[in-house]
Amino acid sequence: MDATTAAHSSTLPAMSRACNPAYIGAVDLTLILGPMKSGKSLELVSLLSPLQYTDTRHRVFQSARHVRDAGVVSRSGAALATVKANSLAAALDEELDVVGIDEVHMFTLGDMDVVRRLLINGTRVVAAGIDLDHRGELFAPVRALLELGPAAVTYRRAVCDRCRSFSAVYTQVLEHGEPMIRELPPSTALPDDGTYTYEPRCRTCVVLPQFTPRPTPARTGD
């Protein structure tokens, strides 16, 4: 078996299980990550919308900071009703089998502790959001979720809006049509109300702010 075949045989079963609604019953934490327009909402709807036809006690939360839509609305047309929330604390107030979270990068680190407690209580969690902020760095809440050891992580890609390769991993923030090179604090939640525009971009085409690199911590023994 060559390296490509080996990689496919080890990743495809995990991905197809994660995309199967029945499989939600077996995994504790599922993450759907990627840049804007990569189909995260489409996948979230595909995973969670069948639950409304079952007895599964579930609720889907979406950050109230997300002002573009009233619920999960994929550009492909698929949609899902959500509870708009500033915090995830309410998820601990009721007995739920499954909690869905959309725009998870817009919640706080305290909310990621709510996720940890939900998992300890046996609630399955499916969370979707962009992984990399306007600086090209991992959002702190997404990092906290990865540190919880998710059972399944789907990294999605979009088509680069500049060179049209199917390899966009960043979300380029544009101000007045030009790449925003102002440095905002890491993990800043940005509105999608016309203040900024956004484009999925590949590693070659993205233009990231020129921020001051953080010192690399020394390792013991270095």
Ligand X SMILES: Nc1ncnc2c1ncn2[C@@H]1O[C@H](COP(=O)(O)OP(=O)(O)O)[C@@H](O)[C@H]1O
Ligand Y SMILES: Cc1cn([C@H]2C[C@H](O)[C@@H](COP(=O)(O)O)O2)c(=O)[nH]c1=O
**Closest alpha carbon to 103 in 148, 147, 67:** 67
196 annotated as a binding-site residue: no
Interacting partner of 66 out of ligand X, ligand Y, none (Cβ under 5 to 8 A depending on kind): ligand Y
Of positions 148, 151, 153, 159, contacts ligand X by CB under 6 A: 159
User: Could you tell me how many residues of this chain bind ligand Y (CB under 6 A)?
Assistant: 17
Which residues make Cβ contacts (< 8 Å) with residue 42, sequence separation at least 6?
74, 75, 76, 78
Q: Write the interaction track for ligand X spanning residues 69-108; mark x where CB under 6 A is met and - where it is not.
A: -----xxx--------------------------------
Lookup: tokens for 192? 């999608």
* Residue 204 CB-density burial (10 A; 0-12 exposed, 13-18 middle, 19+ buried): exposed
103 annotated active-site: yes
Is 198 annotated in some ligand binding site? Answer: yes
Check: CB of residue 65 under 8 Å from CB of residue 107: no
User: Residue 22 corresponds to which amino acid?
Assistant: A
Exposure letters 114-147 (e unless 16+ CB within 10 A, then b): bbeebbeeebbbbbbbbbbbbbbebbebbebbee
Please report, as residue ranges, which positions from 171 to 200 form the binding site for ligand Y (by CB under 6 A). Answer: 171, 173, 188-190, 192, 198
Token pair 């979707």: residue: 128
Tokens encoding 150: 């998710």
Closest approach, Cβ 132 to ligand Y, in A, equals 7
Q: Please pick, among 103, 175, 183, 199, the residue that the annotation labels catalytic.
A: 103
- Using the minimum distance from each CB to ligand Y, give the nearer residue, 123 or 172: 172
Of 118 and 128, which CB lies nearer to ligand Y in the complex structure? 128
209 exposure class (CB count in 10 Å sphere: 0-12, 13-18, 19+): middle
- Quick one: what does residue 161 bind among ligand X, ligand Y, none, with the CB cut-off 5 to 8 Å set by partner type? ligand X
* Comparison of 37 and 105: residue with beta carbon closer to ligand X: 37
48 binds ligand X (CB under 6 A): no
> Contact positions toward ligand X, by CB under 6 A?
34, 36-42, 74-76, 158-159, 161, 200
Active site residues: 103
- As annotated, the binding site for substrate includes 134, 198
